[in-house]
């Protein structure tokens, strides 16, 4: 199994509070991604990183920020959590960009976030 650890695995938080989710990898892969998965919507990309301090927005980036100060860590922050951000969040890593042929994305086990 690829070495990806997401923390926490479960979290319940109140509306308006800041929340930070952590993704840690031991594979030294260049690319890291944050997705959210919701019924009826599938997996949607929030932000991704293509190197230390190099990040870009995905399809559903509003209300989220990310940081990558080290190759192995990619943090996702909800500055002020809302109920619409209740979801399962997945971190993924890949050695090269998905636009390059045969690049596999390895996923973490997910973080279930509930905003009440």
Partner 1 sequence: TQLLEQSPQFLSIQEGENLTVYCNSSSVFSSLQWYRQEPGEGPVLLVTVVTGGEVKKLKRLTFQFGDARKDSSLHITAAQPGDTGLYLCAGADSNSGYSTLTFGKGTMLLVSP
Paired residues of 24 in beta bridges: 5, 73
Q: Are 59 and 115 in contact (CB under 8 A)?
A: no
Residue 3 contacts partner 1 per CB under 8 A: no
Closer CB to partner 1, 38 or 79, in the complex: 38
Closer CB to partner 1, 14 or 40, in the complex: 40
- What the block records as the tokens of 37 is 């998965």
Closer CB to partner 1, 79 or 104, in the complex: 104
Output the smallest distance, CB 88 to partner 1, in A.
9
Looking at 53, 62, 83, 102, which residue binds partner 1 (CB under 8 A)?
Answer: 102
């Amino acid at each position: 199994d690829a070495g990806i650890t997401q923390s926490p695995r479960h979290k319940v938080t109140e509306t308006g509070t800041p929340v930070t989710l952590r993704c840690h990898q031991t594979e030294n892969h260049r690319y890291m991604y944050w997705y959210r998965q919701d019924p009826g919507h599938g997996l949607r990309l929030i932000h991704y990183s293509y190197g230390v301090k190099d990040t870009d927005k995905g399809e559903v980036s509003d209300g989220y920020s990310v940081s990558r100060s080290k190759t192995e860590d990619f943090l996702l922050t909800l500055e002020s959590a809302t109920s619409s951000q209740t979801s399962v969040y997945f971190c993924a890593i890949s050695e090269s960009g998905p636009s390059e042929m045969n690049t596999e994305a390895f996923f973490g086990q997910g973080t279930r976030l509930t905003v009440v």
